[in-house]
Each structure stands twice: as structure tokens, then as C-alpha cells.
Structure 1
Amino acid sequence: MGTSGQEHELDTVGIEPYLNARSATTPAWFADGRLGYLSDASGVPQVWLSGVDGGGAHPLTFLPDRIGALLASPSGNRLVFGMDRGGDERMQLWTVEPGAGEPRALTADPATIHAFGAVSPDGQRFAFASNARDERFFDVLTVGLDDTTPPQPVTATDELLTPLAFSPDGGSLLVRRQNTNLDADLFLVPLAGGDRVNLTPHLGEASIPHAAFDPAGDAIYAVSNQDRDLAALVRIDLVTGEQRLVAEPGWDVEALAVSPDGSRLAYAVNEDGASRVVLRETVTGEERAVTGLPPGVIEGPRWSPDGSRLAFSWSGASHPSGVWVCDADGAARRVTVPDLAGLDPAGLREPEIFRYPSFDGREIPALWFRPAGEGPWPVVVEVHGGPESQRRPAFAPVTQFFLARGYAVLAPNVRGSTGYGKDYCHLDDVARRPDAVADLAAAADWLRSRPEVAADRVVVMGQSYGGFMTLAALTTFPERWAAGVDVVGIANWETFFANTGPWRRSTRAAEYGDPERDAALLRELSPLHRADRIVAPLIVLHGRNDPRVPLGEAEQIVAALRERGRDVELLVFDDEGHGLVKRANRVTGYGAVARFLDRTVGATGP
């Protein structure tokens, strides 16, 4: 059979340019106005430095593994960063000063997780969380940035604690206690000793993803959904405990930064997945929008030391993440130079955000990406992880790669996703898990009704919890799927709870079910125990060092399918953890996925 010119063109689309498109995230200000940030230009995220105009960009670190966190001291003369090893998430802490030599390790305990963190107002100490004492819990400690004395404990309470900020006078820490993934409390912890104060006593549930001191020292600002369905911006008086509503925009508030003098706030609103950034004068309440941004998603807003400029990273569906800056007037400009590695920007696709009906009449939000041409196209249904997460219009190179190869992509935010309120987020809890899987079946049904879709070539794909959803969809609704792609997914709830990081078990049980009380339900919901129902070809990718969903989950489902003579492939990456981070591994892994899809469903037919 002959091959058309379009078919040949699709066959030659390689993944390398999509994964070579550089991203820059996590800006951190220096006193002289330069910016540190994380760049994956080398293939692994490292610390870079550039002028605020983007000039003179160069790397500060040349380390073998990913750097996953970055902060600058308040004076802007040093950086603190965290790096794990081979994706094991046991992050160690480092500090570096430009022009003052090589990075210096602050911790050296590879068996322990060290979680960020805040720098003291005088720049002499760093507060962090560690599970060294008991791997089930995170204690708060401080370490000196200019000496080699061991870290000093602040509080150890058999809880999941994270220090968020030093008080302006340096005498206390603002500490978050994570009760579940969706419920938290804020405490004021005196460093000199004494009782901590709960700043957010509440009944029910309160998610508090962001909080910061008012520089006057008499209050904190926080993003919280306490006593409401959507997250709002509030101000909490440290003396009276009174919470005053600052902004309640009708969608979730998702980010917060307070200027060093307290005169301005920056916050962002998640409007149906896309970010809207707002600058607010704290005295007058006057607000102005940050302008000049393409549609996209914000991360990590941070004010310059003099409070005149705001830096943040910004990513859109058709442009990789970059560092941006705006002045007090809200006019934004990009700092990092876009590098698409030879990709034609006109060939990158933007999604349509829409809703489709599910089995019970509920409307499910989704992103619908169409490739070039008229179809009928095969479709990859991409399921996000979490489940307390949301697929948003940020740059996803693998998605763009699929589109270039002639696949359409549907990315649903099934019930249980964040971004649509507290009630929606709980619609998949424990025994209601199958309802979220049914949302995927409804997505497949919607696709099969579309004339531009090849109805017999619909694929389900997901990572982490999305990998579980992939396996659950293949076992619950096997007739709807032509193939499956499972990346670090859960196959067996019993072994997942037995082997996942001990610090995760209590928070995961609130969402998935208690491994003892709900053992029968979790067994019933485990795809491994219904593996005989999987008839579609499956490819599985996993990192050997995954502390969240250990490799055994992949090995079990693959073994069960091989015993039954099913079409299944397994790729294991020795230097990765929960997902593929290193560019070379991503090229190998997702290149294999592309070949698998071409073999099983093919953009031009199997």
C-alpha cells in the first residue's frame, strides 16, 4: 500500500525538538536587580543568573541532578536551593553566592527529605522541614547559612509541618500543618520557646496553599477556602485572630506575594484553568491587572527587594515557561529569551476549554486540542495526576508532539479535580472513585460522537494517579479504548499503601480510603484484580527510585498481563523517580510511547 505525503510527514516528526524547548521557572531576586531562576537548558533543571533585561544569562550550577526549589535571601546576596538524587525526592539543601565559589551543602543526609523553607530577615538562617527523626513526620529546623553547625530543631510534634516564613523581627516562624492534602492549619511558633498559636482554628476543611506576613508584623495574608467553596485572599490579625476578607473573585485565588514594605499585594486568580494576575494597593484597595501576558498559568510571584517590580514564571499551551517581570503599573515583559529549539511557533496548538456531559448530567471541564487537518483523528485522552490537581493551559511538550503527529488530545478535569471548588474536589472520594472513572467513559463517548474523531482509535493515558485512572478505565470500560499509556501509575491499592513513602500514607488515606477500614473496597477498586479485563495494548513507564508509587506497581500489572498473553510493554528508568525529568530519559520514554501509539492506533491508521 502506498504512503501519502502527509503520512510520511507525520512519520518524520521527532520528539527531540519539543523536549529541547527550554523552560525557566522559580525566579529569585538579587539586590543588584539580577534574577536567579531554574532553567532546563542543560537537560536537567539548574540555577541560572541573568540581568532583568535577559542579558548575560549563564548557569550558576553544573550539578548532575535536578534542582527543584530556589529562594533568595531578603538582602538578595545569596541563593538557597534543593536537589535530590535520581528522582528519589530526598532533597538536600545547598547555598551559593555568585562570584564566591562553588555551591556549599547545608545538609548531607541522603536518607532524609529536606523540604523548603524560608530565609530569616537577616539572611543568616534557613528554616526547613525534615523527616530525619521519624520518616512518617516532618519537623521544623533551622540551619546557619554562614557556618557549619548542625541544624537546630524548632518544633517536633509528630505532624506534617512546613515553615513558610520568618516573622519580620525574626523571632517567630509561620508554620503550616498539613492535616490532609486538602486541609491545613497555620501556627505562629516562637523560636525562643513557648507555646505555638493556632492562627486558623476551624471546623470542616480549610486548604491554605499560600501565606505570608504583613511586614508590619501584626497580621498575615493567606489564601484559604475556610468556610467557603472557593479559595479567597484573607488577612488574619495576629492579636485578635480575626479573618478579614481581602478578595473573593468568584474563582480560586491561587498565588500570593506581599511587597517588602507591605504597600502592595500580588495575587492570581485561576479562571477556568487560566491565570489572571492582579496587583493591589493595601491601603486603598485599588487593583490593576497585569497586562501584556499571553494566555497561560503563573507560578512563584516574588517582589524585588525594593518592592518596585514583581517577577514570576509564566507558561502557556503554545509557549514554554519563562521568567517575566512587571513594574507597579502592571505592564509585563519577558526576561528569559524564548528558545523553541527550532520549532515553528505557528505549529503549536492552543486548546478550546469546554464541558462535556457525564453519566449523571454533570458537566466535566476539559481542554480539547485539535491537530492540523480535518480528521478523522485518533485521540489521546490525557488524565492528570493528583487527583487534587487540574490540567491547565500550560506548556506540555508531549501533548504538542502528539498533535504534530496527527493525534488530537482531550484533557479532562474529571470530578475530584481542583480549580472548581471544594465540593467538586470531593466528588471522587473513597467509594465514589468509580464516578471519576465513569467521567472518562463519558469523554470517550463524547469523542465517538464527533465526526472529526476516529471512533475506534481512542487512547487513554495518565501519570501517577492518572496512571491509576488509565488502568481503571481499561478494566472498567474495556470496549471504549484502543490502547493505554500508564506512567508511574497505581495498580494495587494494598501494595501502594504498604510501600509508598510513610509520610504520605495518612494524607492519601483521606482521599483514597483507609487501607485497613476500607481494605475490601480498595481491593475491588484495584486494577490489578481485574487485569483479565484489559484487552487493549498497554505501555508502562516507571522510575526505579519512585518514592510515591514504587516500581512494584508497574511490575505487578505488567506481570499479570504477560501471564495472560496480552500486548504490554514496560520501560524502567534507573535514574528517575516519580515521572521522567531528565531530557534524555524523556526522549527515550516518550519516543517509545509514540512508536507504541503508531503501532497500535496510528495517526494514519494502525
Structure 2
Amino acid sequence: MHGGGAALRARPPGPPGAVPPDAADHAPRPRPLADTSSVHDLPPPAVHGCWYPSADPSGRRLAFVCDRAGVPQLWTGAVDGTEVRLLDADPHPVTEVAWSPDGRWIAYTTAPGGGELTRVLCVRPDGSGRRLLAGGGPGTSAHLGRWLHDGSAVAVTVTDPARPGDARAAHTDPDVFEEPQPPDDPHWAGRDGRAVRLDAAWARPVDAHGRPDDRASVQEPEPRTLSAYLVDPEGVAAPALVTSERGAPTLRVCDVSRDGRLALVHRGPRGRREALVVRTRDRTVTCVLPVADGDPWIGGFSPGAGTVWLRSDGGREFAALVAARLTAEGELLGTTVVAERPDCGLELFALGREGRRALLAWNVRGVSELETAELTAAEPAAAGPAPDEPDPTDPDPTDPDPTEPARAEPAPDGPPAPGPDAGFRWPAAAGPRRRLALPHEVVTRIEPTADPDAPVVALSGSVRHPGVWWLPQGLPLRTPWSSRDEDAAPSGRTPVRPLPMSPVARDGLTLGGWYYRAPSRPAGEPAPCVVHLHGGPEEQERPVLHPLYLELLGRGIDVFAPDVRGSSGHGRTFVDADLGAGRFRAIDDVADCAAHAVVEGLADPGRLAVMGRSYGGYLVMASLVWHPELFRTGIAVCGMSDLRTFFAGTEPWIAQSAAHKYGHPERDGELLRDLSPMNRADALRVPFLAVHGEHDTNVPPGESEQFVRAARERGVEAGLLLLRDEGHDFRRADNRRLFRRTAADWMERHLAT
């Protein structure tokens, strides 16, 4: 079996859309909110970003995320017009956007208080009718899935609520969240009869006093349940449960076939992601296929649902486009690789509106290449309309015993070997691929429109902020409301195109990365240098404009941003090279990268520093205690200082994924202790700064606090910057500015001479 983790929570077959009795009290129904939209006629700041576009049915108007008002919010604008409208003025950062296929609604995800517990809302394109669909309760989180093709419902995934005493409930902000009201509460009933909060069905066990059951392991948090529903924003149709899974690290509906028979669900921990095909009438999983990490939108169905197209790296070094042929019941007949490259992976994949054309973004050593291709779905030799579905209230003699779990055997590790296409009029295939020119280095999102020859893409680059481009007939046109290239940097700061680097680790493994040279530094003169480490570990350093790097470069400090083992973009073997005890070698990679910059004559060996975020923050602390004489100082942002306390405090679904990378919190307890910087805190010799978001439930702030405390107890200078209204990612302009300046001041002071 490719994958693992918790088994799928199977439920007995029932009528379409039926919600199990224990889910009834938490079934999704919309809750109206006050409208906050406005036409925005103030000029935007020169430096701002726009990203995550979603097109209306015409393809000429876009909903998108923009930080022009200081926080990522939901906006709309024409692809060729200057006027924009702010649809939600709330201060909660927006992370995802999806315009309904019928044009009536825009669904979006927000992060209240900047934290990790997100919620899903929707609003009319004119800013009216704003309503909460999911999330908002203590400890709950919600994520956006796909709209049905007719726009009648949107898929939403929710977690079950935190119980009293659960640490996650402590993150509730009374100014952001409201306590759920029972259905018979008079205040609840007064909300036009349609307002019910969306939560999942299964709660955590409690003892006789209402406290969490202490029998659950501290190292392995009690599993939560993720449930995916189809929700009608109008609140007229009843919600339909698609699937649910206890202990799932992720569960997202990526597509529903046009006739509603089948759903495509993305599940599983990182490194072991899977695509499930779910038969919607009885929620049976009919087939399981491995898919790639990275972008969660892993594929979609052909118009007749005889083929599902997937971005998969099952049994492969690099992700490719795979066509899986299905029966009318969604069972797997075979797979075929239809688009691949020998030395790079498919990073983003989007099906056109008509389902017969694909947009493919390939990651070529950190730089994107965009292609379009015609798709031919596999069609059975006796092709014809799908048979009518039976009356769901009538028993089906072919169905299994309803008392037995309904599930399918997963595929082996990798897609089945392509077999003969006997019984098919033609096999699945991708036609000749056509390259589309891009003005900047990295594609972050691709959005098909009604015109198959005029897609929309979100781009980032080394000399500009994120923006949105329209590509009619392949001609890249910047949307007028995206910032101009010449406005990429504030006055006095010069964007730098980085140089690709290929350090070699001490065990012979070739690493990657990008080196940014301070513009004021004379050629040939070794410079003070910050080795900056990305998160993940599976993220990848890309040649894009980082405001933090810009701040450091403006102060005469070089930046080397390497990809140590465990990073993506270099093949599956490279990603898996840091598993378990391989993490000790990843720590050594940091030292080897610093040495490479010195040997190349770029970095001054006496003025090296290390900095990183999330997993990169962990590597900062690890490098300072494993290689205490190498760096003058370090800054860890939202990093883990003790892998054991991290597992005890993080979200359960994050712990599920992290166990695959770092080790199991109980079975591998000794390894986690040995890998933890806190276990070697006595070796710390140099000044250290920690930065953390106060609402971070991914890596709780205690991870920074305990390492700072340990440093101070040993007489080492240590500081802590705790950012208000932020979570694991810093999204507010004022906080990002404070972070950049504080970090640059710290580095300048400790690397000055």
C-alpha cells in the first residue's frame, strides 16, 4: 500500500446526502454576516502583492487575494480594468478563493487572528450576502474544496470541535470566535431560521467531569475527525456528507464528477498523499492512488468521469500527469502516464473548464515552465451515457453487507503498470504540449478561464512582488491592479537576481540553492553572510523576491538560501533523504553549505549567521548546538526546539504528517530526543533571537520560549519577539515590517565587524 496513517473511517451505505445521526447536530448550514464590501478608489501602495486568482464564468473578472490595505483580503477586478472592489473588510487574512461556476458566489478561507484555525465564508460578487459556512468555534478549523460544476454547492472540510480542556480551545479569541449556540437557543433561532454553525460530528472523549480523557497519550494527541461536506450557500438544500476520517492529517474534495456520482478526495500525511475516488451515493471508496506532495489540488475528472487525471509521483522520482481509467462505479481499470519529464516534476496542474485541456507547470530547478496540452480521456468501446442511478432507497443486491465497512483495497506503491487498453475505443492521452512564455520565474497558481486560450496565472519573481497575469493567446499581460515591476522595492532597496548554487555535502550528495549578493559589495570581497533555511522540510528555495532578503542586502549582508536534503524540487529520493536518522545529515548540510559559500570566495568565514523559519527554525537551533563555532549568531522563526514537546503541542493532523518525517512520538522517542536542540542546549555559545506568532498552533510559541529560557540560564544572550495576531505565517504588513527590521538590526549588530 502506498501511504499509511489512519484508516479511512468507513460508514454504512445510506441514501444520497444523508448525514449520520451523530452528525446531525453539527451539519453545515450558512450563517449570515454583515456586509463589509466597498469600491476601493484609493491608490494602492506602490509595493503590494496580488495572488490566488479565481475567474468568474466569463473569464474577464477575477477574485483574488491582495495585501494593498495591509492584510491579505478578498478583492475583485477585471483582467483589463483598474477598478477593484474590496469584498470583505474584516482584518482576518484570506488564504484561498473560489468563484462558483455559475457566478453567483465567491467562497474563501480566512485565518481569524492570523492563526492556524481557519474558517470558510462566501459572499456575492457585489459584496452582499456575506455568510459563514464553516469554522469559527473553539478549536475548529475549516478548509475550502471544489464547487460542484453547476455551482449549487461547495465542498468544505471541517474538524470536530475542541472539548473543554483541549489546549487548542485556549487559542480562542473572544473578539474573533463565538461560542456555538445550540439549535434551540433563542438567539440562534432568531437568525432567519437558516443559521447553524458547521462543525464535524465526532468529539474528543472526556472523563466523568467533562475533562479530556487522561488516558490519551501526551506524545500522541487524541485523533480528531475531518469531515467533508457539500454545502449549499443558500441553505436551501440539505448538506451532503462526502466522507470522513478519524485522525486524518488532511482531507479535501478536489473535484466532483459532472453527474455527481463520484468525488475525488485528497488525503494522507505528507510523503504519503493519496487520491480517493468516493462513490457519493453510499460514500464507498472505490479506488486509492498515490499522488504527489505540494499543491493540494491534485487532479480532476474527465467530463464523463471515465478518466481521472492526477499529478502523481507514485513509484517515480518526479511527479507526472497520470490518467486513471475508471468504471461507471469508479473502480480502477488501469493507469497511464500521459505527460512527464525525465529531470523535473509536475508542480501544478489544472483542468480547463471544458475538461479537455490541461495547464501544466513544471518545476525546472526552481524555475517554472508553463505548458498547455489537449487531453483525450479513455472511452470504453461500448461508450454511451452512464446508466441511470437506482433509487437510493431501494437495496442494491450488489452492495456489501451494510454492517461491514465499505472500502476499497488501495493501489500498491505507485500506479499500476499501464496495461493493454483492450475494451477501450481509445486510450487516455495528452496531445502535443505548447510552451507559454512567462515574464517572471515562478508560477504559484494557474487558473483556467472560459476561453481555453486565455488562462490566468499568479507569478512571483526575483525582482517583483507577487502579481496576476492574463495570457490571451499566450501573450502575458499584467493585470492593471497588480504592482508594476519597477515598484518592486521601496526607495533605497535594489532587487537582486540570485545565482544558482550546487554545494556538495560531506557524504557526496549534491544540494541546491540560490546566492544573493549585496549590491553594495565589491566583486571579490568576502561579505558577511546569512544562511537562510526554508521550512517544510519539503519546501524549496525559489528565485523570488523576499522582503527579508531585500532588507538584509540593503545593509550590505549577503544571503545564501540553500536546499538541504529533504527539500522538494530535486526528486523523491532527495525529499526522503532526511527521514529518521537522516536528519543528522541534514544538520550537517547546513554547515557544508556555509563552507561552500566561503570556499567560493563569497562569504567571510568570520561573519556567518544562520536564520530560518518553521523547520528552518529548527535547523537554526540544531546548527548552533551541533556546530557551535561556525556561526556568530542565529535567528529562529517559529521553530521547533524539542521534537517531543512539539508533538505534544501541535495540531493532531500535523503530528500525523510529522511522524513520517521526524519519527513516531512514542516508538521513536529516543531518536526525537537525540535530534532535539534542547537536548544539547549546553553547547550553545552565540547570541540567539527567536521570533514567533502568538496564535501559532502548528509550532506552539512554547518551542521558542523554552530555548530562549535555556540560553539565558546558561548566560547566553537571547531575545524573543512575539508577534500579536499572527500564527505560523506572518500575514499583516505592520508585523512583517517589524519582523524584518528587528531581524536585520540583530544581524547587522552581530555581523558588523
Both proteins in one fold, TM over 0.5: yes
Q: What RMSD over aligned residues (CA atoms) do the two structures have, in Å? A: 2.0
Choose which of 476, 482, 487 in structure 2 pairs with 1:332. Answer: 476
Choose which of 349, 357, 362 in structure 2 pairs with 1:269. Answer: 362
The answer on 1:60 being equivalent to 2:87 is yes
Indicate if the aligned counterparts of 1:29 and 1:76 stay in contact, CA closer than 8 A. Answer: no
Identity between Structure 1 and Structure 2 (%): 31
1:319 corresponds in structure 2 to 464
Structure 1 unaligned segments of length 5 or more: list them.
Answer: 1-18
Deviations 1:300-358 (A, max 9, x none): 2111134342111000111111011213x322221143253763699210111120121
Amino acid at match of 2:510: E
1:412 corresponds in structure 2 to 562
Deviation at 1:207, TM superposition (A): 4.6
Deviation at 1:294, TM superposition (A): 2.8
Indicate if the aligned counterparts of 1:381 and 1:461 stay in contact, CA closer than 8 A. Answer: yes
Choose which of 172, 181, 196 in structure 1 pairs with 2:262. Answer: 172
Q: Distance in 1 between matches of 2:691 and 2:46?
A: 20
Deviation at 1:574, TM superposition (A): 2.8
Q: Distance in 2 between matches of 1:485 and 1:108?
A: 34
Deviations 1:13-46 (A, max 9, x none): xxxxxx9721111111113421111001111111
2:169 corresponds in structure 1 to none
- SS state at 2:608 partner: strand
- SS state at 1:243 partner: strand
Indicate if the aligned counterparts of 2:598 and 2:604 stay in contact, CA closer than 8 A. Answer: yes
The answer on 1:549 being equivalent to 2:699 is yes
Amino acid at match of 1:362: L
1:560 corresponds in structure 2 to 710
The answer on 1:42 being equivalent to 2:130 is no
Q: Distance in 1 between matches of 2:314 and 2:333?
A: 14
1:228 corresponds in structure 2 to 316
- SS state at 2:455 partner: strand
Moved more, 154-163 or 419-428: 154-163
Indicate if the aligned counterparts of 2:351 and 2:448 stay in contact, CA closer than 8 A. Answer: yes
Moved more, 268-277 or 497-506: 497-506
Deviation at 1:199, TM superposition (A): 4.1
The answer on 1:282 being equivalent to 2:375 is yes
Indicate if the aligned counterparts of 1:31 and 1:77 stay in contact, CA closer than 8 A. Answer: no
Q: Distance in 1 between matches of 2:496 and 2:682?
A: 38
Q: Distance in 2 between matches of 1:36 and 1:46?
A: 10
The answer on 1:248 being equivalent to 2:340 is yes
Indicate if the aligned counterparts of 2:644 and 2:669 stay in contact, CA closer than 8 A. Answer: yes
The answer on 1:573 being equivalent to 2:573 is no
Aligned in 2, Cα 1:342/1:176: closer, same or farther, shift over 3 Å? Answer: closer
1:7 corresponds in structure 2 to none
Moved more, 495-504 or 441-450: 441-450
Q: Distance in 2 between matches of 1:59 and 1:322?
A: 17
Q: Distance in 2 between matches of 1:586 and 1:194?
A: 44
Q: Distance in 1 between matches of 2:102 and 2:746?
A: 52
Choose which of 482, 495, 503 in structure 2 pairs with 1:356. Answer: 503
Indicate if the aligned counterparts of 1:483 and 1:537 stay in contact, CA closer than 8 A. Answer: yes
Aligned in 2, Cα 1:535/1:20: closer, same or farther, shift over 3 Å? Answer: farther
Q: Distance in 2 between matches of 1:277 and 1:520?
A: 45
Choose which of 515, 535, 538 in structure 2 pairs with 1:368. Answer: 515
2:423 corresponds in structure 1 to none
TM-score by length of 1: 0.92
The answer on 1:294 being equivalent to 2:382 is no
Deviation at 1:230, TM superposition (A): 0.7
2:38 corresponds in structure 1 to none
Indicate if the aligned counterparts of 1:187 and 1:197 stay in contact, CA closer than 8 A. Answer: yes
Indicate if the aligned counterparts of 2:135 and 2:158 stay in contact, CA closer than 8 A. Answer: no
Q: Distance in 2 between matches of 1:61 and 1:310?
A: 26
Aligned in 2, Cα 1:371/1:305: closer, same or farther, shift over 3 Å? Answer: same
Q: Distance in 1 between matches of 2:686 and 2:464?
A: 34
Amino acid at match of 1:330: G
Structure 2 unaligned segments of length 5 or more: list them.
Answer: 1-44, 161-201, 204-222, 377-429
- SS state at 2:742 partner: helix
- SS state at 2:273 partner: strand
Choose which of 37, 50, 56 in structure 2 pairs with 1:30. Answer: 56
Q: Distance in 2 between matches of 1:21 and 1:100?
A: 26
Aligned in 2, Cα 1:20/1:466: closer, same or farther, shift over 3 Å? Answer: farther
Q: Distance in 2 between matches of 1:477 and 1:232?
A: 39
- SS state at 2:284 partner: coil
Moved more, 78-87 or 183-192: 183-192
1:154 corresponds in structure 2 to 242
The answer on 1:596 being equivalent to 2:746 is yes
When Rg is computed on C-alpha atoms for both structures, the one with the higher figure is 2
- Superposition pairs of residues 61-210 of structure 1, within 5 angstroms: 61-99=88-126, 101=128, 103-110=130-137, 111-132=139-160, 133-134=202-203, 136-147=224-235, 151-158=239-246, 159=248, 160-178=250-268, 180-200=269-289, 207=293, 209=296, 210=298
Q: Distance in 2 between matches of 1:102 and 1:462?
A: 42
Indicate if the aligned counterparts of 1:366 and 1:412 stay in contact, CA closer than 8 A. Answer: yes
Q: Distance in 2 between matches of 1:476 and 1:514?
A: 23
